[in-house]
Chains A and B, each alone.
Chain A
Amino acid sequence: MQPIRRPRWFFLTILILPLLMYPAYIGISSILDYLLGDGLFARDALYGSRRELLRELLSGWTHSILPAMALFFLTLLPAWLLLRRFPWFYYLIMLLGGALLGYYFFHGEVLAATAVSITFLFIAMLADKVLRFSA
């Protein structure tokens, strides 16, 4: 990877990208859940009202920020090492890493593991863009 020429953009973006992880996970989960699972997302019945639903979402998002940042910084290391010469290998590592992490964390639940895996792939694509743009 080339040296960072736009450090301001680089640091700003690596702070913003982890914030997108949870919304990305929710979005991907909801699509998968609608297509293959219960489709229980965004039901007024479960949360009383849309206002309550929004409150729940915000609460989950604020809880997720620190773990998402930790996960994202962990992904920066393979990105730094692999993106320049073997970008496909970086994407593969992120996809498989996400799948394994999801599979372990959600006790072998396939759909949840798939959602985590796709989220990691999505974040990898964004990280790739950011690192190339900053270099």
Chain B
Amino acid sequence: MIQINKILIIVFCLFSSAVQGKDYTFLVGGGDKPSNSQVQIELNVKWIEGILRDSGHTPRVFFTDGQAPEPDVLTHIGPEDDRAAALEPLTRMMGEYGDNYLAFRNNEVPNIEASTDATKLSATLKEAFASMQPGDRIFFVYQGHGTWEKDSSNNALLLWNHTRLSAVEFQELLDALDPGVQFRFFFPQCFSGAFLRLADASPLAYKNSTQAAQCGFTAVSATKLSEGCTVSLKADDFRDYSTYFFAALDGKTRLGKPLNGSADENGDGAISLYEAHMYSLDNAYSTDLSRSTSEDFLEQWQPWYLKWKADIRDVPDNLFGKRARRIAAINNYTGEGSTLKKRLFKQRKQFVEEVESLRAKQADLETRQSQLHEGLKTRLLNHWPELMLPYTAAYKALMDNQLDAVLEWIDAQEDYHQLAAMQDENMSRMKDLLDLQRKITQIDKIFRMIQLSRILEQLKVYGSDEDLAAYQRLFSCEDNPL
């Protein structure tokens, strides 16, 4: 009897998978060259790969140079390494502050299928997409850098060997998909908003589906840098969009700590991608103002005569209105209605003024630092001109035999210590600047949620049935679990 039950279950599983279609997950990551392939990207890819596997997916992983043994990841070894720390005076003088702590190694990402070289990756994706059947679902996750172009449709993913794959080229790849295959994406790179154009609100041609064929999420608009491009280097200071989005899907943070409240907004026991996006909006203290394709649809839909309409009514109590209030509460902006708005305006203005003042001070500091640096470097090179020619035998001999003397000389210079203090102060100001930009983003996030709450209400009043249905299809596509 037990045997028969087992057979029945297996037959049912096989049958249901054939009917429901298969899930395909692509995880593409890394930089375009070793010096631009930071260890943070590798850590993100490893973490996300684990989450995807735990949720029953088998991601196809593409990372930098694939399984080639050459070093392809830039790591930060930290001041605890005595050899690296000893070189600090020389790098402060001859290179960039902090370069002495950088190192390269081969990646440690498990289950890599191939390199991310754009030509090879495009061919692989094209082949995979062409073989998919109606009812199949794709989740595409990218972890890497992005570029900006004047025509945002040419904003691109920066892939291995200095290759690139633009939003337009990616769209062409998707043309190979059967209209019954659903494609969902996650792009957290700089200027990623350009990839929102991959959205396709047309109905998924599979079993009278009420979902859109293509939808997804990006960290920022097509014109903004993302948090991933900032100075944060420590694992516990990762604040990019992926950090919050995948933590919500995993039910715990990347450091294994519990989430700030449940991400399961509708209480159905499963976290959808949109719920993960909402969790990110609520909790991300970063410079990312993440977007989804349904939100982008609302902004694109809004007719010209409604874009600049003044509104006296209170913020609507819809999905976005609730979010605006929640983000305000999380960031300790108390009050309601115009009191809250005035406070936000005042606070934002103050932060912007602080940013301008900090930038002016930083520019002044950099000028003084540059003058000091030039004088000191000239004196150093007068003593040891070999330092000018780093790929010569004379340079090697100097490094082998007189490095200690060079370091002692630098340390004995009074103005070197002034320079070091200035460089440290500059780094500290960059962190302060980043923190101010994060604070401004929290306010902008509230403003954007208020604006979206208004547009959603306008869609109900001014939109056609087809407009409403297109929005609903995109939202349903985003609101599915992994």
Contact = CB atoms under 8 A, between A and B. Distances in A.
Interface in B427-460: 441, 443-445, 447-448, 450-451, 454
Contacts of B441: 45
B297 to A, nearest CB: 15
Contact of A43 (B221, B342, B444): B444
Interface in B300-353: 304-305, 307-313, 315, 338, 341-342, 345
20 contacts: A25-B308, A30-B310, A38-B311, A39-B342, A40-B447, A40-B450, A40-B451, A43-B447, A43-B448, A46-B448, A48-B221, A48-B224, A60-B307, A64-B304, A107-B461, A109-B311, A109-B312, A111-B311, A112-B310, A112-B311
Given A39-B345, A59-B304, A32 B310 contact: yes
Interface string A21-49: 00001100110110011111101111011
B223 A52 contact: yes
Closest CB pairs A-B (n = 5): A45-B444, A48-B221, A33-B310, A60-B304, A111-B312
A115 B312 CA distance: 12
B223 A48 contact: yes
Contacts of B443: 45
Given A48-B193, A49-B223, A49-B224, A29 B289 contact: no
A93 B223 CA distance: 45
B222 interface: yes
Which applies to chain B's interface (DSSP): helix, strand, loop or mixed? helix
Interface of B: 193, 221-224, 289, 299, 304-305, 307-313, 315, 338, 341-342, 345, 441, 443-445, 447-448, 450-451, 454, 461
B338 A36 contact: yes
Interface in A99-130: 105-107, 109-112, 114-115
B58 to A, nearest CB: 36
Contacts of B315: 38
A39 B342 CA distance: 8
Contact of A115 (B310, B447, B450): B310
Given A39-B341, A60-B307, A110 B451 contact: no
Contacts of B312: 36-37, 109-111
Contacts of B289: 45
A45 B447 contact: yes
A30 B309 CA distance: 8
Contacts of A111: 310-312
A41 B308 contact: yes
Nearest to A115: B310
Given A36-B312, A39-B341, A106-B309, A63 B224 contact: no
A63 to B, nearest CB: 4
A120 B308 CA distance: 16
B309 A29 contact: yes
Nearest to A112: B309
A63 B304 contact: yes
A30 B445 contact: no
Contacts of A25: 308
Nearest to A50: B223
B345 to A, nearest CB: 6
Which one of A26, A37, A114 has the greatest number of beta carbons of chain B within 10 Å? Answer: A37
Contacts of B307: 56, 60
B341 A38 contact: yes
B437 to A, nearest CB: 12
Nearest to B220: A48
A45 to B, nearest CB: 3
Contacts of B338: 36
Contacts of A48: 193, 221-224
A38 B304 contact: no
Contacts of A30: 308, 310
Contacts of B310: 29-30, 32-33, 36-37, 111-112, 114-115
B313 A109 contact: yes
A32 to B, nearest CB: 5
A51 interface: yes
A31 to B, nearest CB: 9
A46 B308 contact: no
Interface in A43-83: 43-46, 48-49, 51-52, 56, 59-60, 63-64
B74 to A, nearest CB: 30
Given A40-B447, A45-B445, A49-B224, A29 B308 contact: yes
Contacts of B305: 60, 63-64, 105
B223 A51 contact: yes
A72 B338 CA distance: 35
B343 to A, nearest CB: 11
A114 B309 CA distance: 11
Contacts of B224: 48-49
A49 to B, nearest CB: 4
Contacts of A64: 304-305
Contacts of B444: 43-45
